[in-house]
Amino acid sequence: MKPVPKNVPSVRLTAGMYALSKLSAAGLTFTLLGLLSFMFPHTGTGWLSAPAYNVYAYALTASLPADGLLKLAGTRSKVAALIIYALAGFGAGLWLAHDQGSAWVWSAFPGIAALLLFRLSELAGERIPALLPVFALFVPLLCLQLL
């Protein structure tokens, strides 16, 4: 059996950090959308009607293919990432509108804003690694206790 070189990153560690960053971005996005829903109460359907469900079901799921497209394209351009995330947000909004029976315009365009907020949350987690465990684990657990 050949020894593993020291400079090769562990696949499990890389996958775990990816999952932690995704959950952290979802937690931060959920927190921000939750604060918006408290400031602007919304009784209908849409992104602010149930921020926890919408972020974890639609935004998190839509961000995974966006990351796959970025990886396949092999680009590290922030502009390309924003465009792909905007397209993913539009798709997530259409999906949300279909599932909740709302008008596509009222869900698709706010979906773009939600996914761009999700991307900014990911970038914040990359810049401030102490945010990762807080928003990935503690904030969702705290919110579940309060519900």
**CB of 51 within 8 A of CB of 43?**
no
The verdict on residue 127 lying in a domain is yes
The verdict on residue 13 lying in a domain is no
The verdict on residue 58 lying in a domain is yes
Residue 60, token pair as written in the block: 């998190």
The verdict on residue 1 lying in a domain is no
114 is in which domain, residue-wise? 20-44+51-140
The verdict on residue 34 lying in a domain is yes
Q: What's the rounded Cα separation, in Å, for the pair 147 and 141?
A: 10
The verdict on residue 97 lying in a domain is yes
The verdict on residue 35 lying in a domain is yes
The answer for residues whose C-beta is within 8 angstroms of residue 27's C-beta and 6 or more apart is: 134, 135, 136, 137, 139, 140
Place of tokens 């990359």: 126
State the pTM of this model. Answer: 0.86
Residue 61, token pair as written in the block: 């799921």
The verdict on residue 7 lying in a domain is no
Q: What is the pLDDT of residue 11?
A: 81
Number of domains, the chain: 1
- The 10s digit of each residue's pLDDT in 48-100 is 888 888 899 999 999 999 999 999 998 888 899 999 999 999 999 999 998 88
Q: What's the rounded Cα separation, in Å, for the pair 96 and 21?
A: 23
